[in-house]
Amino acid sequence: MIGGAIIWYKPEWKIIDLICTLVFSVIVLWTTVGLLRDVLDVLMESTPREINETRLEKGVCEIEEVVAIHELHIWAITPAKRLLACHVKIRPEADADMVLDKIVSYIKTEHNITHVTIQIERQ
């Protein structure tokens, strides 16, 4: 509309149509890049950028009954819905249900991961 109005007012400025199209194309591209990046991250099932795996792993290992964590997988199925699956080794005398509740609570509150699947293993 802007280009049409300018061309109507000054018919010799036909290049304004091309300039308006280029400006609009740049604006569309600029606003689409973030969305495209989010879509590719979900399709590639990559670890969300906001999640620090090392910090998460250290936090789980700091729980008293936890010995180790391995097979840690974190991915997103939407930009807001993150999933985690892992194996956690615990001490033989530890109450598995209590440890599981502690780990799930830590992961959900500290790292904003919505769905957590943990396989408990005894040392």
Number of domains observed in the structure of the chain: 2
Two tokens at 69?
A: 């964590």
- Per the prediction, the chain carries an average pLDDT of 92
pLDDT for residue 14: 76
Say whether both 57 and 81 belong to one domain.
yes
Domain of residue 112: give its range. 53-122
Please tell me the pTM assigned to this model. Answer: 0.75
116 alpha-carbon distance from chain centroid: 15
Q: Average the pLDDT over 112-117 and give the result.
A: 96
Residue 110 lies in a domain: yes
Residue 80 lies in a domain: yes
Nearest alpha-carbon partner for 110 in 68, 77, 71, 62? 62
Say whether both 84 and 118 belong to one domain.
yes
Residue 84 lies in a domain: yes
Q: What is the pLDDT of residues 38-92, one digit of tens each?
A: 899 899 989 999 999 999 999 999 999 999 999 999 999 988 899 999 999 999 9
Two tokens at 66?
A: 């936890």
Quickly tell me which residue has 């769905």 as its tokens: 115
**Dihedral sign, Cα of residue 33, residue 38, residue 44, residue 47:** positive
Two tokens at 77?
A: 């199925």
